[in-house]
Amino acid sequence: QVQVVESGGGLVQPGGSLRLSCAVSGVIFRLYTMAWYRQAPGKQRELVADITTGGTTTYTDSVKGRFTISRDNAKNTVALQMNSLKPEDTAVYYCNAKWDPVGSGTRYNYWGQGTQVTVST
């Protein structure tokens, strides 16, 4: 059974920092591209950052220079370090694990339940 469990959300003041963690079990973690998405009230879910099996990272423009995604294949975890937080970063943050085996036509795609991040005074 695959489990994707986020932790680390909470309330923080503008300019503050939070570190989100995501633990994955039931899969061969090193095969998966890992990503963080977020969804603010009334908005669509958007990709925040992802990290490939080889460690290549991408970020949405609004978080570049402030957020850092990292993974630990030995511990089956992925983290999102969020610095200089802004009120517009307020959202539910979701961890995603995705694997598209070459030539299989099959996608393995798993989501966590989400963790709330609120940036406010």
- Look at the block and give the residue holding tokens 């995604």: 69
pLDDT in tens, the chain (121 residues): 999 999 999 999 999 999 999 999 999 999 999 999 999 999 999 999 999 999 999 999 999 999 999 999 999 999 999 999 999 999 999 999 999 998 888 999 999 999 999 999 9
The span from the CA of 51 to the CA of 71, in Å, is: 8
Q: What is the CA radius of gyration of the chain?
A: 14
Cα distances from 33 to residues 11, 39, 45, 49, 54, in angstroms, run 28, 20, 18, 11, 9
- Mapped onto helix, strand or coil, the DSSP state of residue 54 is coil
